Amino acid sequence: MTDASPRLPETLYEEPHRRFNPLTGEWVLVSPHRAKRPWQGQVEELPAETRPAHDPACYLCPGNERAGGHRNPDYTGTFVFDNDFAALRPGGAGAEMNVAELLVARAEPGVCRVICFSPRHDLSLPDLDAAGLRGVVDVWADEYARLGSRPEIGYVQIFENKGEMMGCSNPHPHGQIWAQHSMPQGPARETQRMGEHFGRHGRTLLADYLRLEEESGERVVLANDHFAVVVPFWAVWPFETLVIARRPVPSLLELDDAERDGLAEVIGRLTRRYDNLFGVSFPYSAGVHQAPTDGRPHPEWHLHMHFYPPLLRSATVKKFMVGYEMLGEPQRDVTPESSAARLRALPETRGAR
């Protein structure tokens, strides 16, 4: 541990360099000089979305019919149900099937759930009030506990795909939960890296990382008493953020009432800033990363959320992972420090810029 302010040498803010992601062990190439290309700073806005509060054709709205003849109740808060087109199905853990040395498959049991954040078809997370956001956090915790208690479930992944740009097929405010027997590769990499750090230092990796970020302040976007939001030092997406619990708890279940309120607050504040960045309902994929549900203690795990928005320079221009990114490694032009400064300068009032 060092007492010096953890800042990059000034030359690296202008020159190509690589940054290391300690959560995954991967690298990202940063090319800040490319941000000086002529199109930088162009802003294009889309017309405001107009959606009814209730859409009779929406299969997620209260009282409407879903696939297979299922009908939604007239819910007034959150509503959770098993996905009618689930990517995983319940069952016992499947045996490994080795077709050949290099052809290996294994049956994967699991459960997929859908969470409607609100009965209002025309809202999204930044539109919800404090009680509505807290209700979402509570249902996340309840579903994590309920699904994670099943003996065949080893990991519970809570996530949201927002916007058509992220492949969302229905604009009604909702997220998903995929609970499965095996741990997905992303959380598995984080488990390994966090375990190695905890073994060396007796502290969580993200506790040490958050301390460095707050000492520097360059990449901190916003914070409250219980959570902080940063553009991570190793961010791949232009306006990627990481929401970190100040207290190193392994899952949502360890949060007390004030901390749950704190998480709900920072999600609302962050998503409103996102919407104000380009004057559009900001698309993203976001998800909660927390301890596996394998029945073992995980003191190395530190609760956090990832937000991965694709937009690069306007409401219509996105970052693509193509060419070098697909064949080599991720690359970005705008530095995380400049992205954090832009997000930090935005208002948190809905619809303000």
Q: Where are the domains of the chain?
A: 20-46+184-344, 67-180
Q: What is the pLDDT of residue 38?
A: 44
> What percent of the chain shows pLDDT beyond 90?
79
Which class in CATH covers the domain with range 20-46+184-344? alpha beta
Beta bridge partners of 309: none
In b/e form, how buried is each residue of 262-279, taking b as 16+ CB within 10 angstroms? bbbbbbbbbbbbbbbbbb
Q: Does residue 226 carry a catalytic annotation?
A: no
Q: What pLDDT, on the 0 to 100 scale, is given for residue 39?
A: 43
Q: Rounded to whole angstroms, how far apart are CA atoms 294 and 188?
A: 12
Residues 251, 144 contacting (CB under 8 angstroms): yes
pLDDT at 43: 55
**Which of 172, 174, 181, 226 is labelled catalytic?**
174
Predicted structure pTM score: 0.94
User: Does residue 278 have a pLDDT over 80?
Assistant: yes
Which positions ≥6 away from 3 have C-beta within 8 Å? none
Mean pLDDT over 14-32 rounds to 95
pLDDT at residue 161, rounded to an integer = 96
Q: Do domains 20-46+184-344 and 67-180 have the same CATH topology?
A: yes
Q: Are strands 241-245 and 220-223 parallel, antiparallel or unpaired?
A: unpaired
CATH class name, domain 67-180: alpha beta
pLDDT 10s digits, 208-258: 999 999 999 999 999 999 999 999 999 999 999 999 999 999 999 999 999
Is pLDDT larger for residue 15 or for residue 154?
A: 154
Average pLDDT value for residue range 179-186: 97
Which residues is 305 bridged to in the sheet? 243, 288
DSSP label at residue 39:
T
- Number of residues written out for the chain: 353
Among the ranges given (39-43, 92-96, 231-235, 303-307), the one the predictor scored with the smallest mean pLDDT: 39-43
| C-alpha span between 137 and 188 (Å, rounded) | 23
Around 231, how many Cα atoms within 13 Å sit in the side-chain half-sphere?
A: 23
> How confident is the model over 9-26, as a mean pLDDT?
89
Q: How far is CA 105 from CA 90, 95, 96, 154, in A?
A: 18, 9, 6, 18
Q: Does residue 197 surpass a pLDDT of 50? A: yes
Q: Please check whether residue 252 is in contact with residue 142, taking contact to mean a CB–CB distance below 8 angstroms.
A: no
Residue 99 confidence class, pLDDT cut points 50, 70, 90: confident
Mean pLDDT of 262-280: 97
Computed over every residue of the chain, the mean pLDDT equals 92
Dist CA 208 CA 191 (whole Å): 16
Q: So what's the pLDDT on residue 74?
A: 98
pLDDT tier at 100, thresholds 50, 70, 90: confident
| The pLDDT of residue 317 | 87
**pLDDT > 90? residue 353:** no
For CA atoms 84, 164, 269, 131, the dihedral sign is negative
Q: What is the largest CA-CA distance in the chain?
A: 63
